[in-house]
Amino acid sequence: MPRRLVDRYIFPTVLATGLAGAVTLNLHAGELSPYSLPSQQRPVVPEVRQQAMPRYESRADDSYYRRFASDAATLTPKQRADLEKSFSQSRDQSLKVGRVEEAQHYSRLISILQANR
């Protein structure tokens, strides 16, 4: 091939192709970061925050328990038995989680129900 053809057509084409490839590589290049094997990486576990149970504050005074006693007197034996069962379950659950004041409240309600038999 004559040198003139090479200088005029082929060399500029090869040069332009090479430059275009270099520009393309630079456009796709990104910051490199160190690679670590999956066995070396710590698993990402989302943090689960446990919320403390709200503290039970007894707001019930003697008038509350007197009203409950008068209302309990109007209940049928089945209704009283159902309430006693529910209060017993609530008392047991309160004791499990360490809420003694709440358990005492339910115990007092249970004793009022039992007195109205």
Of 11 and 41, the structure prediction assigns the larger pLDDT to 41
- 79 found inside a domain: yes
Burial of 19 (0-12, 13-18, 19+ CB in 10 A): exposed
Q: What token pair was written down for 109?
A: 């309600």
- The pLDDT of residue 87 is 94
- 75 found inside a domain: yes
Of 33 and 79, the structure prediction assigns the larger pLDDT to 79
- 110 found inside a domain: yes
Q: Which domain holds residue 78?
A: 60-115
- 48 found inside a domain: no
- Across all residues in the chain, what is the average pLDDT? 75
* pLDDT above 60 (res 57): no
Mean pLDDT across the stretch 61-66? 88
- 70 found inside a domain: yes
- The pLDDT of residue 33 is 72
pLDDT tens-digit readout, 67-98: 999 999 999 999 999 999 999 999 999 999 99
What is the 3 state secondary structure string of 37-53? Answer: CHHHCCCCCCCCCCCCC
Local structure of 114: helix, strand or coil: helix
- 108 found inside a domain: yes
Domain count of the fold of the chain? 1
- 78 found inside a domain: yes
- 54 found inside a domain: no
Burial of 114 (0-12, 13-18, 19+ CB in 10 A): exposed
